[in-house]
Amino acid sequence: MLIKIVLNIKPLIAYLYTFDAEEVADEFRLIAETYYKRKNYACARNIFHYLLTNVRDCLVQLDIWLKYGNCCNYLDEVDDAINAYRNAVNLDSSNCEAALHLVNMLKKNSQLFDEAATVIDKTLSQKDTACLNTEILNLKINQCFIQYEKNEYESYVRNARQLLFNNLMFVLEPENVNGTL
Amino acid sequence: MLEEKKDQRRLILAKLMLLKYVDTNTHLDIYDIYFNQVMAELNNEADISKKIYVLRNDMKKFQSKFAVERLRLLIELLNKQRQFKESISIMMNQCQITIAASQDQSGQQQALVNTPEMFLYLNSLHFDVPVGCNNYIRGLFIVSLINLDYLNEEVRIVFIFKLVEIF
């Protein structure tokens, strides 16, 4: 029934829906990525969602979950964005980008602070703290923020001091801190 | 001789000339050997234009028998260089993609063909991609259109997903 209706309105992409999704996953992904690059998040979200619900291989691709989450985030679909980022983190808990996206969403809701703290701890525990990058530093800043909000002042002071002493130049840049908080 | 002298730049140019002038009816094997060699050697980002040149030449030589995988590569390279109009024209010619009749502002039916002018009123056009067209090429065609701000597809995608949600 759906195929019949879709064929009647004849958009170019409709023909691809007549195939098994697994068979035309590359084509759909190509189109979704194009919409994503052009910041058309509504179209990109729809196609990523179609891929994630119909193509088994896509379920284990962190990149797709992240982009789908970003689309939902831009479209203010907070719950879907959080779930997408959760899936991305579950696929690779050492991935800082995925963790940072999830934490940035979770910290908007004080009831989710515990989950955010767990995600940060789990990710940072798998990282070599000697090799810092922007994402690790942002996770550390978020860690301090959450500890402060949760009144865990002892941990907050210890981590904030470490952050300030070791990475003063990064923390001094207002855009680094404001962007994170 | 150039190979011995390790004069890579001239060697590539010589191979490009060879690919251009060799008769594929009588020396297809030689053409294929050098085609594969040149494509393998042109690996840098700066070589994209040369690769496009080789593939365009290949398309001219083989016309309707131009291999799908080479067409796919040509379109991907053209899109990488943001030459979307050219990639659309090539796909329309190679895959017999046609333009369905459209109405102009006065409501009259226009007969449209694959010309550079069609890009002036791209959003009033509807394209018919033949059923037998390779799916990946269809995907690339849609990608090129999206990059030229073709809105028809977007409106319909939104409509399709509304239907998907209903059913």
Closest CB from A9, A40, A42 relative to B159: A9
> Mean pLDDT score of chain B, rounded to an integer?
82
Please identify among residues 66-125 of chain A the ones whose CB lies closer than 8 Å to any CB of chain B.
Answer: none
Residue matched to tokens 């002042």: A153
- Chain A residues near residue B153 by CB distance under 8 angstroms: 11-13
Per-residue CA distances from A98 to A43, A71, A146, A159 (Å): 22, 14, 18, 22
CA distance A49 to chain B (A): 10
Chain A residue nearest residue B167, CA to CA? A2
pLDDT higher at A130 or A88: A88
- With a threshold of 0.80, does the pTM exceed it? no
pLDDT higher at A173 or B75: B75
pLDDT higher at B62 or B153: B62
Closest CB from A15, A28, A35 relative to B146: A35
Q: Are B74 and B59 spatial neighbours (Cβ–Cβ below 8 Å)?
A: yes
> B31-60 pLDDT, tens per residue?
999 999 888 888 888 889 999 999 999 999
Please identify among residues 45-74 of chain A the ones whose CB lies closer than 8 Å to any CB of chain B.
Answer: 46-47, 50
A7 — pLDDT class (breaks 50, 70, 90): very low
Interchain contact, B138 vs A15, CB within 8 Å: yes
CA distance B139 to chain A (A): 5
- pLDDT score for A136: 84
SS3 (DSSP) at B128: strand
Q: Are B90 and B63 spatial neighbours (Cβ–Cβ below 8 Å)?
A: no
A1 — pLDDT class (breaks 50, 70, 90): very low
- Chain A residues near residue B132 by CB distance under 8 angstroms: none
**H-helix segments, A13-172:** 14-17, 25-37, 41-54, 62-74, 78-91, 96-106, 113-125, 134-149, 153-166, 168-172
Tokens representing residue A180 in the block: 């994170």
Closest to B83 measured CA to CA, from B152, B148, B137, B129:
B148
Closest to B79 measured CA to CA, from B124, B157, B146:
B146
Q: Does position A74 have pLDDT exceeding 90, yes or no?
A: yes
- pLDDT score for A9: 42
Give the C-alpha separation, B148 to B100, whole Å: 19
Which of A22-26, A89-93, A131-135, B33-37 shows the lowest per-residue confidence on average (mean pLDDT)? A131-135
A101 — pLDDT class (breaks 50, 70, 90): very high
CA distance B27 to chain A (A): 36
Interchain contact, B141 vs A5, CB within 8 Å: no
Work out whether strand B102-103 and strand B126-128 pair parallel, antiparallel, or are unpaired.
unpaired
Q: Does position B110 have pLDDT exceeding 80, yes or no?
A: no
Give the C-alpha separation, B96 to A160, whole Å: 64
- pLDDT score for B88: 93
CA distance B94 to chain A (A): 17
Chain A residue nearest residue B139, CA to CA? A27
Interchain contact, A9 vs B160, CB within 8 Å: yes
> A32-41 pLDDT, tens per residue?
999 999 999 9
Interchain contact, B153 vs A13, CB within 8 Å: yes
Most confident of A13-17, A72-76, A151-155: A72-76
Which of A19-28, A108-117, A164-173 shows the lowest per-residue confidence on average (mean pLDDT)? A164-173
Percent of chain A whose predicted confidence (pLDDT) is above 70: 83
- pLDDT score for A8: 42
Please identify among residues 114-153 of chain B the ones whose CB lies closer than 8 Å to any CB of chain A.
Answer: 126-127, 129, 131, 135-136, 138-143, 145-147, 152-153
Chosen from A19, A24, A34 to mutate, greatest number of chain B CBs within 10 A: A34
